[in-house]
């Protein structure tokens, strides 16, 4: 069973990697740890593995596992608690940073006379002792958590970034104690870097604070969604209206929503008509009209009339809760491109410790060769002093290597961009279930569409009415047999179809209503299964159906045969209308193409994508829709298994396939495709099978999903490039003694902040 757990104490990529390795070492456990979300998504296959076993594994890495964050009774409360903890962590990071600088600034001021004039005030022993004491206070006070975290992770065999910082700062402070011994005449000379150790801790804590704040901005989308929830609801109970907290709304409660108020929870309108702002779900700012019988989404805004709504989803079952849960799952997942970064991160800290040790030994064993390089570079790097003793130069280089090489930027590159991207998508009607879908959608070169409900509206509508003419002018009085007008044909058909729930029947009745046709009541109407409907009106017996129904009534359809064949050839669904023994006309219906289908398909082809339509409909209907939307290729009369085979054939030919569908029969194709996109108007089964859910019913949501994937993956690649480039350049420079440890620590912190800031730029992307 897969559950999401909170991990306390993580603050770098090494932390997340260590926890993940410990959890995955347990038999039957698959875990994915997210540093930005501070969670672990754990799938436990073994029923005998307890929470205590999981917690013990995490504790062995030096961190703490909390019980599952998902509270089934209140899906949103757990997320609020997480955000409250994030705020508390930010406050703590701010306090530690301020205290560190309050102690470090006096150290820096005290260092100025020695740096500028070579004067250790008031004397060498007091200077070294005071500098070392203040640095120790910085390390033991605000820096205590860093040293403690480094010790725990090293003891657990999974060293993290804290190890590098603790070693760098600790070695620097240790030089202060050595310098005191030298001043007392009992040890050889070495440069006092204790002040640099304090600066390393202060700069590290500053970077940590900025990073935590930036990560908080990355989850701004979830915070925004939480802020949309209506705090209270007005419900009808025992004949009275009561105002209760939204969390207390029960299934089937009748809620009363006035203009300007938010709908407390998901429901169905039982009375009233209004326009609703559903932008939180669809990303579209244009209000939509809703009336009795229409479903509504919790937290959307009622613009106009008073509505009475029956609650159909509360707590964890609301749209808002499902969106937040899906965003959390996506943010906790991984993108395939991250795998290499994870492998590097896993061995990064031990490798850097080895490189730093080599730098120390190298400067002690080959000081002349390395010092000659430092001497030539002293003009470009004013802090380089090649006249220092070999011991001081060795410590200088080793400390710089330790603090410059931090895997944090590598670890944050992918998950932070993924967090911002999926959060942005959630506010624009694009819900990403898994991070891998981002990469798959970015690399897709073939888009396969289902027809019904995807390229079309998914419900039939009348598109044309044709009649049999015998010469009498339209509207001349009594209805002559065989000479009915279009409106009269529609009136007769709607009268008998009003008794049926068949989709074609509803389409005819709806069209008659739109035209203002007065529909008479038919007597004795009943459906002829597979053929049509028959009923009695004042004018006589009316039959509406196919050729077989007409033949059973002895009706000659010859007068309308040409029109019938013409419409069927054009991909229309056609029903014949007859009165007594004479055919009067035909009503043609079709599943209308979505208004934006053609424009969307053109835009996708403009991006170099191949577009294909798969449908179970007839060849003629498929051809008509394909021509209407301008799709590249189409295949008709396909069963669900045929669609799966078609996608597999495309994949076997080297295509990367994205499938867009909405129905139950689309679920297998959504699963087998490289990435599946379900339109939000589709079934729950299709949405559960898909990697991406498009909440909006307009097809342009496919374009928004594609833009989101491309923008997010572009940020991931940018972040990974700069993280690798930074380390590749910085580590050799530090090894050669050309990088001041304090500057190295500042650069390290800046690299992490830069990666997070670059990811946050996604929030301004136009989808």
Catalytic positions, written as ranges: 450
- 471 — alpha (psi -120 to 50), left (phi > 0) or beta? left
Give the E-state strand segments of 266-349 in sequence order.
Answer: 266-271, 274-277, 288-290, 295-296, 301-302, 307-313
- Is residue 424 a contact partner of residue 708, using CB atoms and an 8 Å limit? yes
Structure token pair of residue 378: 């002293």
CB burial of residue 593 (10 Å; 0-12, 13-18, 19+): middle
Instruction: Find the DSSP H helices in 383-431.
Output: 390-404, 408-427
Q: What is the helix (H) or strand (E) element at residue 513, kind and residue range?
A: helix 503-514
Write the DSSP assignment of 535-563 as a string of letters: EEETTEEEEEE-HHHHHHTT-B-GGGHHH
CA angle 64, 67, 72 (to 5 degrees): 155
Place of tokens 């470090």: 104
Structure token pair of residue 553: 């009534």
Write the DSSP assignment of 90-140 as a string of letters: HHHHHHHHHHHHHHHHHHHHHHHHHHHH---SS-HHHHHHHHHHHHHHHHH
- Is residue 365 a contact partner of residue 745, using CB atoms and an 8 Å limit? no
> CA 27, CA 410: separation in Å to the nearest integer?
28
Q: What is the helix (H) or strand (E) element at residue 67, kind and residue range?
A: strand 64-68
Beta strand 540-545 with 532-537: parallel, antiparallel or unpaired? antiparallel
Angle of helix 124-140 versus helix 144-155 axis, rounded to 10? 70
C-alpha dihedral, 602 to 603 to 604 to 605, nearest 10°: 50
Please report, for residues 29, 275, 365, 732, the alpha-carbon distance to residue 136 in angstroms, rounded to integers and kept in the order given.
42, 65, 30, 29
Write the DSSP assignment of 228-244 as a string of letters: TS-SEEEEEETTEEEEE
> CA 44, CA 27: separation in Å to the nearest integer?
9
Structure token pair of residue 646: 């078609």
User: What's the number of CA atoms in the CB half-sphere (13 Å) around residue 352?
Assistant: 31
271 - beta bridge partners? 308
Report residue 744: phi and psi, to 5°: -60, -45
- Is residue 697 a contact partner of residue 595, using CB atoms and an 8 Å limit? no
- Is residue 611 a contact partner of residue 600, using CB atoms and an 8 Å limit? no
> CA 643, CA 660: separation in Å to the nearest integer?
12
Structure token pair of residue 18: 């260590």
Alpha-carbon dihedral sign for residues 715, 718, 720, 722: negative
226 - beta bridge partners? none
Sequence-separated contacts (24+) of 240-249 with Cβ below 8 Å = 247/74, 247/315, 249/311, 249/314
Structure token pair of residue 757: 């800031």
> CA 60, CA 54: separation in Å to the nearest integer?
10
Give the E-state strand segments of 662-751 in sequence order.
Answer: 675-679, 692-694
Residue 313, SS3 per DSSP? strand
């Amino acid at each position: 069973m897969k559950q999401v757990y909170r991990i306390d104490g993580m603050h770098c990529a090494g932390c997340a990697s260590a926890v993940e390795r410990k959890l995955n070492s347990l038999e039957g456990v698959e875990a994915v740890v997210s540093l930005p979300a501070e969670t672990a998504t754990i799938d436990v296959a073994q029923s005998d593995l307890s929470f205590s076993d999981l917690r013990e594994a995490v504790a062995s890495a030096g961190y703490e596992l909390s019980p599952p964050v998902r509270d089934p009774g209140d899906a949103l409360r757990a997320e609020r608690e997480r955000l409250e903890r994030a705020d508390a962590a930010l406050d703590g990071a701010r306090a530690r940073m301020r205290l560190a600088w309050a102690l470090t600034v006096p150290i820096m001021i005290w260092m100025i006379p020695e740096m500028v004039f070579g004067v250790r005030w008031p004397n060498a022993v007091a200077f070294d002792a005071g500098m070392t004491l203040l640095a120790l206070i910085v390390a033991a006070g605000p820096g205590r958590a860093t040293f403690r975290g480094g010790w725990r992770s090293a003891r657990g065999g999974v060293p993290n970034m804290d190890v590098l910082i603790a070693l760098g700062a600790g070695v620097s402070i240790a030089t202060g104690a050595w310098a005191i011994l030298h001043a007392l005449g009992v040890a050889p000379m070495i440069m006092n870097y204790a002040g640099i150790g304090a600066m390393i801790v202060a700069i590290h804590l500053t970077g940590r604070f900025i990073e935590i704040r930036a990560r908080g901005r990355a989850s701004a989308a979830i915070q925004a969604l939480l802020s949309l929830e209506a705090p209270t609801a007005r419900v009808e109970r025992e004949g009275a209206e009561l105002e209760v907290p939204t969390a207390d709304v029960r299934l089937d409660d009748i809620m009363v929503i006035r203009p300007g108020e938010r709908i407390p929870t998901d429901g169905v309108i039982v009375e009233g008509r209004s326009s609703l702002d559903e932008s939180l779900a669809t990303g579209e700012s244009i209000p939509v009209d809703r009336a009795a019988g229409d479903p509504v989404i919790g937290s959307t805004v009622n613009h106009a009339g008073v509505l009475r709504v029956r609650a159909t989803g509360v707590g964890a079952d609301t749209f808002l809760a499902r969106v937040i849960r899906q965003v959390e799952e996506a943010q906790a997942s991984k993108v395939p491109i991250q795998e290499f970064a994870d492998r590097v991160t896993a061995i990064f800290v031990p490798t850097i410790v080895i490189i730093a040790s080599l730098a120390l030994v190298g400067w002690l064993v080959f000081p002349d060769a390395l010092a000659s390089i430092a001497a030539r570079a002293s003009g470009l790097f004013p802090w380089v002093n090649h006249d220092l003793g070999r011991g001081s130069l060795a410590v200088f280089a080793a400390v710089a290597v330790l603090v410059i090489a931090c895997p944090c930027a590598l670890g944050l590159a992918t998950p932070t961009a993924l967090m911002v991207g999926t959060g942005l998508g959630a506010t624009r009607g694009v819900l990403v279930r898994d991070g891998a879908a981002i990469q798959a959608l970015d690399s897709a070169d073939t888009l396969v569409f289902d027809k019904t409900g995807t390229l079309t509206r998914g419900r039939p509508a009348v598109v044309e009415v044709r009649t049999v003419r015998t010469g009498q002018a339209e509207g001349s009085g009594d209805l002559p047999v065989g000479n009915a007008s279009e409106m009269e044909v529609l009136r007769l058909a709607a009268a008998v179809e009003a008794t049926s729930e068949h989709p074609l029947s509803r389409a005819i009745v709806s069209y008659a209503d739109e035209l203002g046709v007065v529909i008479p009541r038919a007597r004795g109407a009943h459906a002829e299964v597979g053929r049509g409907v028959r009923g009695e009106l004042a004018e006589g017996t009316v039959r509406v159906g196919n050729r077989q129904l007409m033949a059973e009534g002895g009706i000659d359809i010859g007068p309308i045969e040409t029109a019938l064949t013409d419409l069927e050839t054009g991909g229309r669904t056609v029903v014949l209308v007859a009165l007594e023994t004479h055919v009067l006309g035909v009503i043609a219906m079709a599943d209308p193409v979505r208004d934006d289908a053609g424009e969307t398909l053109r835009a996708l082809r403009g991006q170099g994508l191949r577009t294909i339509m798969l449908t179970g409909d007839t060849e003629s209907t498929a051809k008509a829709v394909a021509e209407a939307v301008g799709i590249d290729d189409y295949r008709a009369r396909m069963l669900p298994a045929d669609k799966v085979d078609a996608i597999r054939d495309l994949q076997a030919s080297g295509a990367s396939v994205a499938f867009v569908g909405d129905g139950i029969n689309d679920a297998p194709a959504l699963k087998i495709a490289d990435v599946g996109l379900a339109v939000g108007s589709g079934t729950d089964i299709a949405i559960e099978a898909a990697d991406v859910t498009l909440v909006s019913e307009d097809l342009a949501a496919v374009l928004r999903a594609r833009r989101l994937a491309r923008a997010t993956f572009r940020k991931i690649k940018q972040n990974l490039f700069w993280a690798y480039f930074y380390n590749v350049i910085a580590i050799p420079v530090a090894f050669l003694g050309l990088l001041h440890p304090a500057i190295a620590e500042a650069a390290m912190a800046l690299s992490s902040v830069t990666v997070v800031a670059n990811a946050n730029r996604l929030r301004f992307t136009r989808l």
